[in-house]
C-alpha cells in the first residue's frame, strides 16, 4: 500500500520506515523531508495514485503539518475517498489533539515513535471502513 512519510527528521523517517517494513507495509513507502515536496507529490498523484496512508509530522520548517493540511483542503473530497492521514508527532500538547478535529482528513494523532500497536490499529480501522463501504454498496 502506497504510504507517504512526511517528517523533517531523518532519524524519525528511518525508524518509521523500518517499522513499516517489519510489519509488511514497506514496499511502497515514500519518505519526504519537507511538507512542500510531499504536498506537490500528493496533488500530482490525484486522483488515482494518491497514497493510502500518510504519516505527517507537525513541527517542520517552512510548511508545518497544519499548514500542509490547510493547503490540502481543496482536495479533501477526493483524498477522503482514497487516503488516511495520521499525525505522527512528539508533541504532547492537548491543543494539537483538539486541532486534529478541525481537519476531516485526519484519522487520529499518534505519538512518536510509531509502534506495532499503532499499525495494528490502523490496519484494523482500514479493514473496518472497507467492510462498511462494501456493505453500503
So where are the chain's domains? Answer: 3-136
Give the span between the Cα atoms of 78 and 42, in whole angstroms.
11
pLDDT score, position 137: 60
Residues 66-93: what's their mean pLDDT?
A: 96
On the 0-12 / 13-18 / 19+ scale of CB atoms within 10 A, 128 is exposed
Give the span between the Cα atoms of 14 and 1, in whole angstroms.
18
Name the most confidently modeled range: 24-28, 61-65, 91-95: 61-65
- Cα 102 → chain centroid: 15
- Give Cβ neighbours of residue 53 (< 8 Å, ≥ 6 apart): 1, 2, 3, 4, 25, 83, 84, 86, 122
- Cα 114 → chain centroid: 12
Residue 132 pLDDT > 90, yes or no? Answer: no
What predicted TM-score, i.e. pTM, was given to this entire model?
0.93
Give the three cell numbers for residue 30.
Answer: 515514500
Residues 31-49: what's their mean pLDDT?
A: 96
Q: Report the CATH fold assignment for 3-136.
A: Rossmann fold (3.40.50)
Which pLDDT band, with edges at 50, 70 and 90, does 128 fall under?
A: confident
Amino acid at each position: 500500500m502506497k504510504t507517504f512519510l512526511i517528517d523533517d527528521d531523518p532519524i524519525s523517517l528511518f525508524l518509521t520506515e523500518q517499522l513499516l517494513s517489519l510489519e509488511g507495509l514497506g514496499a511502497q513507502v515514500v519518505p519526504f523531508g519537507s511538507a512542500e515536496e510531499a504536498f506537490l507529490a500528493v496533488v500530482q498523484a490525484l486522483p488515482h495514485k494518491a497514497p493510502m496512508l500518510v504519516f505527517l509530522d507537525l513541527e517542520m520548517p517552512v510548511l508545518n503539518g497544519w499548514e500542509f493540511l490547510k493547503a490540502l483542503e481543496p482536495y479533501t473530497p477526493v483524498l477522503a475517498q482514497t487516503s488516511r492521514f495520521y499525525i505522527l508527532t512528539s508533541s504532547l500538547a492537548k491543543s494539537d489533539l483538539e486541532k486534529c478535529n478541525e481537519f476531516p482528513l485526519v484519522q487520529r494523532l499518534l505519538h512518536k515513535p510509531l509502534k506495532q500497536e499503532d499499525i495494528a490499529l490502523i490496519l484494523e480501522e482500514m479493514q473496518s471502513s472497507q467492510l462498511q463501504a462494501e456493505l453500503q454498496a
